[in-house]
Amino acid sequence: MGAVIEVIQGDITVLDVDVIVNAANSSLLGGGGVDGAIHRAAGPLLLEECTKIAAAKPADHACPTGEAVITGAYRLSCKKVIHTVGPVWHGGRYGEAELLASCYRKTLLLAEKSGLKTIAFPNISTGVYGYPKDKAAAIAVETVRSVLKETPKITRVLFVCFDQENLKLYRRLLG
Ligand code: APR
């Protein structure tokens, strides 16, 4: 029985899943959007852990674009947070699609390796980073469907849409 893939609308920080995914930046030191919401809900110990991770890496490459890093979840109801850094949209000729796919792929593989079974994704790169929502949604669904064949322990994937446009796009893609 393969994993269940669902779409919901709402705030990712309140979900009771094993791991929620953060659309972070490469410094891992927080920001606005979903990054800000996750840090606010998790409390200061999340930033403390991210700061330690960042201190051990070359400047501003705590998490390169397309990569994923796992931390505790602190005051959040989930067990872990996986921070991934999506590409900034620059028109589509700079490898953005591959980098966005890499975020979903590496995050799922990291969740599998960490024994996490249920995972919630925000719509990575479609806010501040300006990725066209329709293109991003197609990459997210296609990549997750294909990587789930390699991650048998993952039983449930939630796409958490914050805005109506993303919700409609994901609902259409998932039928
Ligand atoms: N729950 C779920 N989704 C949310 C929430 C929330 N609480 N808050 C915002 N979102 C949605 C946005 O509406 C958007 O659809 O998350 C999606 C991703 O948007 P951003 O958070 O702006 O992330 P991104 O486009 O990947 O840009 C990342 O923004 O916050 C900074 O530090 C972050 O520099 C990084 C950049």
pLDDT at 60: 66
Mean pLDDT of the chain: 97
Amino acid at 169: L
Q: Which residues are catalytic?
A: 35
pLDDT at 58 (0 to 100): 79
Q: Alpha-carbon distance 5 to 129, whole Å? A: 25
Please name the residue whose Cα sits nearest to atom 8 of ligand 1: 34
Q: In the predicted model, is pLDDT for residue 103 greater than 70?
A: yes
pLDDT confidence of residue 9: 97
Question: Ligand 1: which atom is nearest the Cα of residue 123?
Answer: 17
> What is the pLDDT averaged over residues 80-102?
98
Phi, psi of 168, deg, nearest 5: -65, -45
Q: Which one, of 134, 139, 142, 132, lies nearest residue 169 by Cα?
A: 134
Phi/psi of residue 53, nearest 5 degrees: -60, -45
Q: Measured between alpha carbons, how far is residue 166 from residues 83, 106, 109 in Å?
A: 20, 22, 24
pLDDT at 1 over 70: no
Residues with Cβ within 8 Å of 33's Cβ and at least 6 positions away in sequence, in order, are 23, 127, 128
Pocket-forming residues, ligand 1, beta carbon under 6 Å: 11-13, 23-25, 31-37, 86, 122-129, 160, 162-163, 166
pTM of the model: 0.98
| Tens digit of each residue's pLDDT (9 = 90 or more) over 130-164 | 999 999 999 999 999 999 999 999 999 999 999 99
Pocket test for ligand 1, best of 13, 34, 96, 121 (most atoms within 8 A of CB): 34
Question: Which pLDDT tens digit goes with each residue over 55-80?
Answer: 998 776 899 999 999 999 999 999 99
Residue 93 phi, psi (nearest 5): -110, 20
pLDDT of the residue at 175: 87
Query: Check: CATH 3.40.220.10 for 4-174?
Result: yes
What would the pLDDT profile of 9-49 be if each residue is shown by its tens digit?
999 999 999 999 999 999 999 999 999 999 999 999 999 99
Structure-token match 């980098």, residue found: 99
Of 169, 129, 120, nearest to 10 by C-alpha is: 120
